[in-house]
Chain A
Amino acid sequence: MGRASIDEQTLVELLMERKEEGFRELMRVYKDDLVNFAYRFVGSYDNAVDVAQETFIRVFRFIETFQRGARLKTWLYAIARNVALSILNEQRRHPVSRLVETDDDGQEVERDIPDSTYTPDRTVDSTIIAQRIQEALRKLPAVYREAVILRDIEELTYEEIADVCNVELGTVKSRINRGRAMLQELLHDVYEELYGKQSQ
């Protein structure tokens, strides 16, 4: 996250008054985090930039609906998540096949069999390992992927993730655990390469 020059309360006031200064500050602080989150979630840098742009435009348009007690950061991530999900849904119209699984909470989770032609953006993920990790992330169902990205990459707290994804805290924990377990399976050989056989 970029370093904020003003506190969140003042920033919210500026946004409510629709001051351009406030919007610029908001973008300066959060743009990179949102692009990174969106890139790891949707897997395409161009789409990620679109997601971030659309997120800020929605903030400008619907700032009146922001509840003053809420956290601006979780609100931004929630909007970005919704925009990213709508892009993923759009991509699903030309898929690949889909599997339905049941997660730990008994909820049905749709799992796409990913497009085998997918390759991570090499300008972002320049190393082979980074590309392998990004590919593995893409193979996770969206609900596990978002939970792992928000926790382990964006470093949000469990409570913040529950707010962003609009689910219970227990669901967040189980999704993170399940997502990590899947990633470990998928990245088994990368572990060996990086940390040796002793790590297994």
Chain B
Amino acid sequence: MIDSAPDNHEHPEASNLLRQLPRVTAPLGFEETVLLRRMMKEQLPHASAPEGFEEKVLSRLRECESLSRHLRPRRLRLASPRTWIAIGVGAAIVGGIAYYFASTRSSSSREHHTIPAPHVLPLVVPTDSAIEEELAPPTQPSRRSESESERPTVDQPSTPPGKRVTPGVPEHDQE
């Protein structure tokens, strides 16, 4: 079949442009590389797989698969609901016992280790007024608030005028 590609003469501009492209040269050591590759191709034989290669691989694979199948039921047994229920019940019992011991121990330890409240001595800051109060005679009227002083007074028989009264001395002695 004749190639119907257009001849270069039909496109002189394109040809001129292509001629202007710089020529690329082979890199240094090109021949050596070619020889090296030729040598490797020609001189090195192609190693091939030994006879029965496929069968060996398939038997190794079957071994692996049978091993994994052998292991699978164990895994499944472990994951059965009965196992999980048993594990759950066991954990609950152990947890309950642990909680019981922990709570009893903490309550007993609370009894033993109660620290008695220390006897707090009243801190008395002596002031002049307090000393005065202490020294004051017991009959001295106590301070009253204004509301108290406003309360209605009850009439009581008062001491007759002119009678000398010594505070703290019984009345019959004073006579």
A interface, CB within 8 angstroms of B: 20, 23-24, 27-28, 31-32, 34-36, 39-40, 45, 48-49, 52-53, 56-57, 60-61, 121, 124-127, 129-130, 133-134, 152-153, 180-181, 183-184, 187, 190-191, 194-195, 199-200
Closest chain-B Cβ to A154's Cβ sits at a distance in Å of 10
Total A-B pairs, Cβ < 8 A:
92
Establish whether residues B35 and A195, one from each chain, have CB atoms under 8 Å apart when the complex forms. Answer: yes
Chain B residues contacting A200 (CB-CB under 8 Å) are 32
List residues of chain B with CB within 8 A of the CB of A24.
54, 58
Question: Are B33 and A180 interface neighbours, CB within 8 A?
Answer: yes
Known: A24-B54, A27-B53, A28-B54. A184 touches B36 (CB 8 A): yes
Interface size on B, residues (CB 8 A): 26
**Sample of 19 A–B contacts (CB below 8 Å):** A23-B58, A28-B54, A32-B46, A35-B49, A40-B44, A53-B60, A57-B60, A121-B47, A124-B45, A130-B44, A134-B44, A152-B40, A153-B40, A153-B41, A180-B33, A184-B36, A194-B35, A195-B35, A199-B35
The answer to whether residues A32 and B49 also contact, given A130-B44, A184-B36, A194-B39 and a CB cut-off of 8 A, is yes
List residues of chain A with CB within 8 A of the CB of B57: 27, 53, 56-57
